[in-house]
Structure 1
């Protein structure tokens, strides 16, 4: 399939979204097409979002101690990864951490808690955190990522403006990645957010062995669910997890997955996998996280020395002795 990506971008603006076969063609396009794809995506991004970049800040309000067995996660049940483990932060502690991000320019604060889903008391905690953050600055958006929420009333009680879950994997491969919950559990959380009048946010993780078809299927599901913000994470293969040592991504592959038809947030693993292409990524995506992530730092530090991709010689040069 030969596609003029510049013309196709103009069709997208007119309301003709990419078909499944076109999306697959984009992911599989030869390297010679890469500049044209990036240029078309950048044009779309400027049309929809100009050159603005939305800054987000993550507050890990409960770390580790998770009963779920997601194979990519350093907080998973049975993980040997060396991560901090603590129960809930107090509302004052969460607000203080949030203010650090706001001072750095963040306009959205994401409250993230490990675990399957919130109890009634947990929802109250999140509501108090959200109220404290909004009391300091009413314009700040508060996003809650607190596990599975299947009722709109529960979603509303968080006092958040956005509710997040990560579909993570395509439906077809979900049982291989996690056995303790289903793809539909995540879909129900997105539906609960939408029914509660909150902005639904859901993204994906790439680099876990997924196919092009898997990526297209997952993104198609997100569009069908009416997701308004899509965080794109790139696998960080932590030691102590089943995904340790997996390095499937290149900067070019990561850039192909980003698309500007909605708010696309460059999330975990961007420093590791995009590397020198991070500025290029922001000509396509329009949102990113400031600061550190859940259990990893946003900049290379000694603790992450083992989390570096293996050296791969340039294909045109080969090894030099």
Structure 2
């Protein structure tokens, strides 16, 4: 039997867990799961107390993507019947920020499909961000695909606080998920944003036929990248995508993954992201013991849990929402 409290103490003392310990987390027996969650919570509480950060996504451009990512309904190879539209105008993006503020979201995430942003798309986003930052005291995260260094600098100058570009999976498993760009293309974008002075956000999608060793490698890669915010998505396989019908996850395994990410990236924002509703199901509340952040509202092409239910869940757990009030 693993002493999970000793593992938490090891992490809190600044030591890295071994690969053997990491694998033990992912293979934790069901009768020890509550002890594992408690030990992960000790690490989470040390750095974040009982606060939970809320994030909200706006999908500003849907579909028309030339990439072939196997999980994505917006991919060029997807036949999923999704809504498709070109880049929203500035006013619509700003209106979305109003909704994010109403839901007490501390971070507003502006997302667009595609390999990378055009000049027009960068201009729309930077113009909208400037007005959002003037009106609302909230963080703005952009997720526009692969960036060039000068684009990263433009976003920084406009007031973008954070940029998301997920590694999605391990370097070894990457070619099984997409071949239209490389793992290193994604890493390069994260580094460009860091060089521009933007907080890096990078995460994963678990449940894409990867091994447990791949999951461990993902967590370690994000530690090496020094990502400030780590969204952990759980695959919600959509009909019409290349991963259609994939259903490898259980609620308890998802909780173990979140504990692993907390132990390896102890000081970082760990966010329970896409797929939490369909994969964690009735165990969703337990996810906030290792994680300290969630998305509210809908995702890109799938619906999330009603915002009021998320707030009720947090209140019932005794957690406090971390958000900034409106400027006066």
Q: What TM-score, normalized by structure 1, do the two folds share?
A: 0.90
Aligned pairs for 1:1-150 within 5 A = 3-137=2-136, 139-150=137-148
1:274 to 271, 277, 280: 280
Alignment gaps of 5+ in structure 2: 307-328
**CA distance in structure 2 between the aligned counterparts of 1:264 and 1:289, rounded to whole angstroms:** 11
User: Tell me, what secondary structure is at the counterpart of 2:59?
Assistant: strand
Alignment gaps of 5+ in structure 1: 301-321
Instruction: Indicate yes or no: 2:270 matched with 1:264.
Output: yes
**CA distance in structure 2 between the aligned counterparts of 1:16 and 1:78, rounded to whole angstroms:** 43
**CA distance in structure 2 between the aligned counterparts of 1:77 and 1:123, rounded to whole angstroms:** 22
| Displaced runs of 4 or more, over 4 A | none
Q: Deviations over 1:249-278 (max 9, x none)?
A: 001010011143110111111000000111
Q: What TM-score, normalized by structure 2, do the two folds share?
A: 0.88
1:288 to 285, 294, 298: 294
CA contact (8 A) 1:92 1:132 kept: no
CA contact (8 A) 1:91 1:132 kept: no
Q: Deviations over 1:159-213 (max 9, x none)?
A: 3110111111111111111010010010001101111111000000001111110
User: Tell me, what secondary structure is at the counterpart of 2:166?
Assistant: strand
Instruction: Indicate yes or no: 2:152 matched with 1:155.
Output: yes
- Cα drift, residue 246 of structure 1: 1.0
User: Tell me, what secondary structure is at the counterpart of 2:125?
Assistant: helix
- Cα drift, residue 3 of structure 1: 3.2
Q: Deviations over 1:3-33 (max 9, x none)?
A: 3110120121111121222111211222232
User: Tell me, what secondary structure is at the counterpart of 1:110?
Assistant: strand
Q: Deviations over 1:139-172 (max 9, x none)?
A: 2100010000141x32121231101111111111
CA contact (8 A) 1:110 1:142 kept: yes
**CA distance in structure 1 between the aligned counterparts of 2:174 and 2:28, rounded to whole angstroms:** 27
Q: Which has the higher contact order (CA 8 A, sep 6+)?
A: 2
- Cα drift, residue 118 of structure 1: 1.2
